[in-house]
Structure 1
Amino acid sequence: MRWAPLLALLLAAPAAWAQEAVGVRVGNHPGHGRLVFDWPAPPQYRVEQAGDAVVLYFPPGSAIDLSGARRLPRNMAAVAAEGEGIRIALKPGVRARIFRVGPKLVVDALSPPAEPAPVAQAAPARAEPAPEVVAPPMAPAASPVLRSAPPVPAMPVLTPPRPDALAVRPLPRGGGILLPYPAGTGLAVLRRGGEVLALFDSGEALDLTGLRTDPIFAALEVEALGGATLLRLPLPSPGLLKARREPNGWVLEAHRPAEGQGAAGRSVGLEVEGGVAARLMLRAGEPGRVVPITDPESGLPLLVGTVRAAGQSMPIWRRLPELDLPPTLLGVAVLARADQVTMRATAGGFLVGAANGPLALDAAAAEMPNAEAMTRSFDLPRMPTPRLLERLRALQASIAAAPPLNRLALRRAAAETLLALGMPQEAQAMVELTRGEDPEAARDARLNALAGAAALLAGRLPQAAALHHAELPETDELNLWQTLLLAAEGEAREAVPRLASALPVLFDYPEGLRSRLLPLAAQSLAEAGAVVPLRQVLEKAGPMPELALPRAMLAEASGDAEAALAGYEQIALGRDRLARARALRRAVELRLATHKIDAAQAARALEATLFAWRGDGEEAAARIRLAELRRAAGDARGALALLRETEALFPERGPALRAAINAAFVAALEHEPPLDAVALFDAYPDLLPKDADGQAAMLVLADRLVALDLADRAAALLGQAVGRSAGAPRAALGLRQGVLHLSNGDAAAALKALQESNGEMLPDPLMQARAVLAAQAQSRLGRLEEAVVGLKALGSAGAAALSQLLAERQDWAGAAAALADHLRAALPAAPAPLEEPQQRLLLRHAAMLALAGDEAGLVALRRSYVPRLPEGALAAAFALLTADQLRGLADLPRLQKELLLFQTIPPWLEALRAGGPVTR
């Protein structure tokens, strides 16, 4: 029996200690009442939820002295012995949280958010004796429940705020407040129970008088912590507080997240420093201070790290042997379960360690704790299989003899027995029979959680999701099942820290259940790369054939590729289809990683494994990976075909596959032969992404068609793409289409392409390029004045095109002036030497000045740029164009040199010389 080790311990203890009853203490705290069982050693217990009450079951023969609970906490209705358990009745709306602190067992009754915390008695305004409060008469000692007279509420004395207090004001649009803390003040926000806590690492006083009429923040409470300030806001779940930093302070806004939406921003990074048992680094930007407070839920120390920049949260709960990392909305928090836990701020975040030696970050890396001391939610007796079968037969007989509405407890026990035997489908069927027979079954939290556990073991993940929302008190056993579900859903890396701490519960299960759960746990550890806990689990589990795949994965993670491949090949010969499929696929990946095969060979090998396992996420993941390998091997069209087939087979994964399909389609457009790529686009035009990737693919395809003298086909293709794009990509495609039309001599079609692809909020370079093309098209249509006006409106961005347009009209002075504007923006500042494209631009400017007869301009150009031109043909041509005029016989030798230099003039300058008379 599960109680046998504890009973043996009790019998081995001294007689005086064994007969000593466990005392009970009570207390009232802000937001919760507390009941403490003073056990001398960590107790084993089981919890049942019964409406507004919880029932604690301790080992048979336990002596509980309830005399200390005669005067109950304010939110508990009764505490009394009930059969073999202790029934704790709660007032309406109150929920219980049960946990251990050392050997003591603590039951906290958490008040609902609407219940105000008790107000401390304020000092009287006048020097009068305080009224004497007389306690009500005590009930007899045998009475299990004591009801005291209702206390007289104290009238609080409202003290005016300090003159130097920071005035907190609501936002003009409502729903938030501004706290005018100076720059450099850190903040952490997290939910604990029915409250949201906001901790500032500044001790400046706050004035909340401006929030008295606020519908949300009027209930805000302030607690000064000496150098820090803690704000408590009762906010029903799932309400949250969003924090952002503004120049004049921190803003807190009430926020109700949408379905499935988590905290905004980025997650705080989690790193292990120094190995498995060392220190934990929480990576955060602009860390503030570490402020210790008392956790309102557990009463344990809560180390809170503030940050000075918004958008840094810890969205997932992580449980470790010595500490918990509760989720936060901003900043970090560490719930210390051991006295030696420390946290300090560093330049890169917060360092969590232990005061006396390394911190045990992985329960499996150290010695596993005693399973008898771990808390449970279910009654899964550790019995041999024959005894479990006998128990099941006895329960079935009792169920048959009981009235239908009295079978709930019996059927629940039968479902637990079936689960302990490793028969999850039968356990689910028993739960469904109970739900169809008894209306109370739907409200039985333990039965609902049991149904989720059975569904997880049966591989029915949608039904197992009920475990995430179990209404049971938090226990080590419930943590185990929730973590296994998280790993089965593909979040193995997030699940490993919590899984390692709950493994002792798994090894304490009966053989039938343990043999079904161990492969799932070991597989999760292997997929997360947790080498040390995986090795210890495999050693403790022994030679189980079901663990062959995790053993091979451990060999691969340890760097022994040959042993891993041998293990995968052996598993591929077995009868377990799922393990066989995984082994085949992992062998392909390992051979690819060790360069034994290339991407094309890996794609062919992985394709052969598709039929090893069909119909679920395993096949979908294999198909997606195969598509990646095909793309890497240059078969983008094959990858596209495979992904489209996968989308048809798994329509629920359509949104997740869309990005991969679009990427494969773009890759096919870029790498297929041009005509094949055009046919592919005509067949699947809806697959073109409406972003920069789609734009780039279509532009590349258009260039490839132009290279084949298919400019008309390229322009038509771009027109189709314009109709299926939006924003800047649409405008860029329309620009390229217009360029093609203009190069074909169709200026009207170019203007039409620009008009049809017009958009708002376009980047400046794109808008300028479109305006230049429009001016060039207008010039071709004879609308020269409109073109000139449009280019002049662009300033220096349109100067080059304006210069070209004026040069075509042989307006050399205007062309030279426009090109001068362009040069001022295009040429680097002196004295940097000019590159060849810049030299050609400068030479063009000199030619225009020469054709315009602007001697002063040539002189100024020569003085400014001759020192910046390296020697060469372009520098010689520039010197020729900018040289002084021939004025007499003394200039004849220079004329002879210039005639020789004419031979070095680039051919493209001949067109400029032909435009006007030569005066040199």
Structure 2
Amino acid sequence: MRLPALLLVAVLAAAAPARGEGPVSVPMRVGTHPDLGRVVFDWPRRVGYAVEEEAGRVVIRFAEPARIDLAAARRPPRNVLTIGQDGDAVAMRITPGARLRHFRLGNRIVIDLRDPAAAQPSAQRPPERAAAPSTGVARPSAEPSAPRVPTPATPTPERPAALPQAAPAAVRALSEPSALTAPPRPAAPVAAPIPAAPAPNPSPALQQDIAASLPAPGTTRFRLVHGAPGIVFDAGADAAIAMFRRGDRVHLVVDRAITPDLAALHGHPVFGRLESQPAGDATVFSLALPAPARLAARRDGTSWVIEATRHAVPADAPVLRAAADAGPPARLLFTGGNPGQTVAIADPATGETLLVGTLRQPGPAVLFARRLPEFDLLPTMLGAAIVARSDRLRLRALAADRLVLEAAAGAPLGLGMQPGDEPPPAAIAMSRLLELPAGPVPMLLERLRAVLSSVNATPPLTRGRFRRDAAETLLALGMPQEAQAMAAIAFQEDPRSREDPRLLLAHGIAALLSGRPGDAQGIEDPRLPLRDEVTLWRALRALSHGQGTAAALRGSAPLLLGYPEALRARTLPLAIEALASGGEPAAAASLLAAAVDMPGLDTARAMLAEAEGRATEAIVILERLATGRDRRQRAIAVRRLAELRLTAGTIDGAGAADALEQSLYAWRGGDEEVALRRRIAALRIAAGQGQQAFALLDETRRLFPDHAAGLGAPLQEAFLGALETAPPLAAATLFDANPDLLPAGARGEAAVRVLAERVAALDLPDRAAALLRRAMEATEHGPTRAAIGERLGVMRAAGGDAAGTIAALDASESTEIDSALAARRTILRARAMARSGARDDADTLLVGLGPAGAAARAEFRAEIQDWPGAAASMAEHLAATLPPPSAPLTQEHRSAIARQAAYLALAGDEAGLATLRSAQGGRMEGGALAEAFGVLTADPVRGVEDLPRLQRDLGLARLLPTRLEALRAGSQVTR
């Protein structure tokens, strides 16, 4: 018995292409199930193998040399005593009576050791079929729930070298738009069948050719469809099929055992690698077809036509609806199709039992996946597919239009569904990435317990998929913090989990719902496939950061209606509120209508009413929520009530700020609280409460250091408001503590000037001067520094401190100032120099200013009683500053003209006075200055008739010194 197998293995090894890599490292995994032990060899590529079974011993030989990782052999699975490597083979000692079953799943080779036959009920042991001679086509399996594999000592050789080369072509065909994206068209004609017999009396050679072209007796011929990527086969008028996806492969189940003839498909870019596997009284076909490509089925007479397409499922496509039947007993009904036979096969993805309900007519499919503790309902392309996690499940056709999933012996089935509990069509039609289980809390907790048990029974480096299932279950339970922690542990334990799109998305969603949007980067990971679910959460994350628009959420938000109840209750209100406040009231209203009486939507209703202009209705709802028990809704209601009343004018900005401040402690943390604090500060600044606004923003800066950079502008605004409105000493103290907040430019300079004057008005000149000096030292902006220094110099000069004036000017020198400021600083320096005795140097400085320093030079000449010189300087000043005759004079101009008249009078320049009177007399208008100007420029007394005028002028002359003193510059001058 051993010799033929050894010879065949040797032939396969010799025929295998030389890889030049040496022995391959092959991981081995083990698992224990209720009725069998499993050993899996995870090869990196597909290889041939042979299995030998002796009394109490099983030997597995591979077509290539390998180094088997036997680390898992320390804990052998059920029905296995020991596992060891014998040369290039793996030998296992098994328990007496254990039944061997082996098969292939992709590149993996699976060895199952079932319990002895005595432990199985006789009804579960179907009779073994007689071994049939090899025909190149796999024969039906004796096990209805698993693929049939070669009998012991029969090798499974590698596929011929020509076939694997078709894989890249298939992938290219799926990526070509012309291959699968053509618009739907009428049914393409299938290849014409070959005639059963030629013309009468054919020649012997022709008879041989016809015989060679006909399919072998008992086979079903598969042919290509003309003009489309599709195939056609005839398995009988009553043949029923089902189609579903598992990973990157699509599986086609036919409800009868057929022997397929696939020769006509060889070399086709899409269907050239179609594989078949018998499954009891059914046949399973598998095809590599990456998403989003899918298969569509139609009938052509008694034949089935299967076409590959990239088009999404049409909105009006028939649906195989799954609805709970309360019973008794409780069960799940599938309606909307014409059921054929039900088939139990091994799940191509996990090896678990898969219950498949086939349909005789094309169309109805399950579009919405559900995960329950006892089973998973898979999305399909035709028919129904259920992953059975409980041994008591049974799927059968109940009538001509219904399938039923029920528990054995009439026991109730734990569905976690209610009759009619199904998402609306808009949610069902959307594509998903997560597999979120649905059901009541006790059932979800039981599922979580089972998944955690699997985690504990699995080696740490392979726990990623179980922790992913646990994270999804925790999300379904509305426990995002726990789900995020579970996903984080998976990332740490299993390096492969960091590449799992489902786990990346689950972790990002959990972080976002936990109030940690900074940890939700997984939602934006480029490795996530483009699904409606991914688009939904990316839009929600963008809105949580104050970015994006509600329009991006509009198209995918209905998907939330299909989420488990606890998760839906957390997410749907957020989406509707974002739509209502983001300018999408129609989409928000549609979601509200679909949510019916779901709790927690009152805030959304109020926001929608506000968006639609129904302010009174919104206020009524918000007033009720403001006194409710829900903390989040109460906080939002208080805030929106304040804004609505401010808009309506029933409260002012200060009142709105007070109301909003009361809601600060109702909902803490995150971007939402920072935004609220900024809004309160803005209202207080507008209401003249700068000190309160600054205190609030300063606290915000300390509590939320991550947001400190974004608080710079509002903090400076509040600081300036506090300097202007707070009590002088309090404002000065505030400035001393935060000089760095003084903004550069005219506004900062003006604020410091005002504050200094307010402090000086309290008879605290030294305190005011110290404040100006601190402000001057704190700013690095040249013009601002020079302006503050000039103001400090004026204050020092007013106190008679010439040296302090010059020191302030020296400390604030800048080359970036404008000419007006430069002139004021030079004049101030010249006055300080004159006060300190350096009058000639001061006069030289003023001469250098030209007309800008003429007025100051006139004062200097008047102080030394050089009246002609003072009059000349003032004439230069007037020539440079007086407006044209057609323009009116300002108070400053009239004062300068009156001073010029005084200087001319004191100099005895009658001609100059006459010229000044004729040029400017008509422009002086009325008032004290006009009267003084009239006295100074009047004609001399020439007779008795001038005596009344002289008497009047003498009366005015008595007041002239006082009036002239008022004409001096505002700053002090030397005496």
Give the TM-score normalised by the residue count of structure 1.
Answer: 0.56
Q: Give, as a single letter, the amino acid of the residue that structure 2 aligns with 1:752.
A: A
Q: Does 1:775 align with 2:918?
A: no
- Superposed CA deviations along residues 552-579 of structure 1, whole A, max 9, x for unmatched, are 2233344444433332232234332222
Equivalent positions of 1:16-35 (< 5 A) are: none
Equivalent positions of 1:440-459 (< 5 A) are: 440-459=496-515
Q: Aligned equivalents of 1:650 and 1:497: distance in 2?
A: 30
Q: Aligned equivalents of 1:776 and 1:511: distance in 2?
A: 83
- Kindly state the Cα deviation for residue 25 of structure 1 after the two structures are TM-superposed: 11
- Superposed CA deviations along residues 98-136 of structure 1, whole A, max 9, x for unmatched, are x989999xxxxxxxxxxxxxxxxxxxxxxxxxxxxxxxx
Q: Give, as a single letter, the amino acid of the residue that structure 1 aligns with 2:557.
A: L
The partner residue of 1:751 within 796, 806, 822 is 806
Give yes or no for contact 2:583–2:611 (8 Å, CA) kept in 1. yes
Q: Aligned equivalents of 1:830 and 1:67: distance in 2?
A: 105
Aligned to 1:818: 873
Q: Aligned equivalents of 2:890 and 2:266: distance in 1?
A: 92
Q: 1:504 to 1:680 in 2, by over 3 A?
A: closer
* Sequence identity (%): 44
Q: Aligned equivalents of 1:88 and 1:521: distance in 2?
A: 28
Q: Aligned equivalents of 1:552 and 1:816: distance in 2?
A: 78
Give yes or no for contact 2:515–2:670 (8 Å, CA) kept in 1. no
SS of residue matched to 2:588: helix
Give yes or no for contact 1:688–1:694 (8 Å, CA) kept in 2. yes
Aligned to 1:900: 952
Q: 1:571 to 1:910 in 2, by over 3 A?
A: closer
- Kindly state the Cα deviation for residue 744 of structure 1 after the two structures are TM-superposed: 1.4
Q: Aligned equivalents of 2:821 and 2:508: distance in 1?
A: 57
Aligned to 1:439: 495
Q: 1:607 to 1:79 in 2, by over 3 A?
A: farther
Give yes or no for contact 2:585–2:608 (8 Å, CA) kept in 1. yes
Give yes or no for contact 1:25–1:36 (8 Å, CA) kept in 2. no
Give yes or no for contact 1:412–1:447 (8 Å, CA) kept in 2. yes
Q: Give, as a single letter, the amino acid of the residue that structure 1 aligns with 2:727.
A: P
Give yes or no for contact 1:69–1:79 (8 Å, CA) kept in 2. yes
- Kindly state the Cα deviation for residue 750 of structure 1 after the two structures are TM-superposed: 0.9
Aligned to 2:625: 571
Q: Aligned equivalents of 2:918 and 2:826: distance in 1?
A: 35
Aligned to 1:835: 890
Give yes or no for contact 1:40–1:103 (8 Å, CA) kept in 2. no
Aligned to 2:522: 466
Q: Give, as a single letter, the amino acid of the residue that structure 1 aligns with 2:521.
A: A
Q: Does 1:495 align with 2:549?
A: yes
Aligned to 2:708: 654
Q: Give, as a single letter, the amino acid of the residue that structure 2 aligns with 1:439.
A: P
Give yes or no for contact 2:512–2:520 (8 Å, CA) kept in 1. yes
Equivalent positions of 1:716-865 (< 5 A) are: 716-727=770-781, 728-865=783-920
- Kindly state the Cα deviation for residue 580 of structure 1 after the two structures are TM-superposed: 1.9
Q: 1:33 to 1:825 in 2, by over 3 A?
A: farther
Q: Aligned equivalents of 1:560 and 1:807: distance in 2?
A: 76
The partner residue of 2:568 within 497, 514, 517 is 514
- Kindly state the Cα deviation for residue 710 of structure 1 after the two structures are TM-superposed: 2.9
- Kindly state the Cα deviation for residue 909 of structure 1 after the two structures are TM-superposed: 5.5
Q: Aligned equivalents of 2:487 and 2:945: distance in 1?
A: 112
SS of residue matched to 2:527: coil
Give yes or no for contact 1:496–1:530 (8 Å, CA) kept in 2. yes
- Superposed CA deviations along residues 634-659 of structure 1, whole A, max 9, x for unmatched, are 55444444444443333333333444
The partner residue of 1:596 within 645, 650, 657 is 650
- Kindly state the Cα deviation for residue 828 of structure 1 after the two structures are TM-superposed: 1.9
Q: Aligned equivalents of 1:393 and 1:745: distance in 2?
A: 88
Unaligned runs of 5+ in 2: 1-168, 186-245, 255-263, 276-285, 293-308, 315-423, 968-975
Q: Does 1:38 align with 2:181?
A: yes
- Kindly state the Cα deviation for residue 440 of structure 1 after the two structures are TM-superposed: 2.0
Give yes or no for contact 2:642–2:660 (8 Å, CA) kept in 1. yes
Q: Does 1:708 align with 2:851?
A: no
Counting matched residue pairs gives 596
Q: Does 1:554 align with 2:626?
A: no
Equivalent positions of 1:630-669 (< 5 A) are: 630-631=684-685, 635-669=689-723
After superposing the two structures, state which structure 1 stretch, 847-856 or 576-585, moved more: 847-856
SS of residue matched to 1:745: coil
Q: 1:100 to 1:878 in 2, by over 3 A?
A: farther
Q: Give, as a single letter, the amino acid of the residue that structure 2 aligns with 1:829.
A: P
- Kindly state the Cα deviation for residue 903 of structure 1 after the two structures are TM-superposed: 4.2
Give the greater-gyration-radius structure (CA).
2
Q: 1:397 to 1:707 in 2, by over 3 A?
A: closer
Q: 1:893 to 1:545 in 2, by over 3 A?
A: farther
Q: 1:26 to 1:370 in 2, by over 3 A?
A: farther
- Superposed CA deviations along residues 769-795 of structure 1, whole A, max 9, x for unmatched, are 211111111111111121122122223
- Kindly state the Cα deviation for residue 859 of structure 1 after the two structures are TM-superposed: 4.5
The partner residue of 1:524 within 555, 574, 578 is 578
Q: Aligned equivalents of 1:84 and 1:434: distance in 2?
A: 31
- Superposed CA deviations along residues 16-56 of structure 1, whole A, max 9, x for unmatched, are xxxxxxx999799xxx98675226569xxxxxxxxxxx976
Q: Give, as a single letter, the amino acid of the residue that structure 2 aligns with 1:897.
A: R
Q: 1:607 to 1:387 in 2, by over 3 A?
A: closer
Q: 1:885 to 1:580 in 2, by over 3 A?
A: same
- Superposed CA deviations along residues 695-720 of structure 1, whole A, max 9, x for unmatched, are 32331122223333333332233223
Q: 1:544 to 1:87 in 2, by over 3 A?
A: closer
Equivalent positions of 1:363-512 (< 5 A) are: 370-371=426-427, 374-380=430-436, 408-409=464-465, 411-412=467-468, 415-416=471-472, 418-420=474-476, 422-491=478-547, 494-512=548-566
- Superposed CA deviations along residues 819-857 of structure 1, whole A, max 9, x for unmatched, are 233323322223223234322222222332333344554
Give yes or no for contact 1:833–1:870 (8 Å, CA) kept in 2. no
Equivalent positions of 1:321-340 (< 5 A) are: none
- Kindly state the Cα deviation for residue 499 of structure 1 after the two structures are TM-superposed: 0.8
Q: Aligned equivalents of 1:614 and 1:389: distance in 2?
A: 30
Q: Aligned equivalents of 2:268 and 2:955: distance in 1?
A: 116
Q: CA RMSD in A?
A: 4.5
Give yes or no for contact 2:932–2:960 (8 Å, CA) kept in 1. no
After superposing the two structures, state which structure 1 stretch, 415-424 or 801-810, moved more: 415-424
Q: 1:60 to 1:611 in 2, by over 3 A?
A: farther
Q: 1:805 to 1:369 in 2, by over 3 A?
A: farther
SS of residue matched to 1:545: coil
Q: 1:830 to 1:785 in 2, by over 3 A?
A: same
Aligned to 1:136: none
Q: Aligned equivalents of 2:746 and 2:671: distance in 1?
A: 31
Q: Give, as a single letter, the amino acid of the residue that structure 2 aligns with 1:570.
A: R
SS of residue matched to 2:542: helix
Unaligned runs of 5+ in 1: 1-22, 43-53, 73-77, 90-98, 105-367, 916-920
- Superposed CA deviations along residues 581-614 of structure 1, whole A, max 9, x for unmatched, are 2222333333344343444544444444343233
Give the TM-score normalised by the residue count of structure 2.
Answer: 0.53
Give yes or no for contact 1:382–1:508 (8 Å, CA) kept in 2. no
Aligned to 1:539: 593
- Kindly state the Cα deviation for residue 481 of structure 1 after the two structures are TM-superposed: 0.6
Equivalent positions of 1:593-632 (< 5 A) are: 593-631=647-685
Give yes or no for contact 1:691–1:725 (8 Å, CA) kept in 2. no
Q: Aligned equivalents of 1:540 and 1:907: distance in 2?
A: 91
SS of residue matched to 2:289: strand
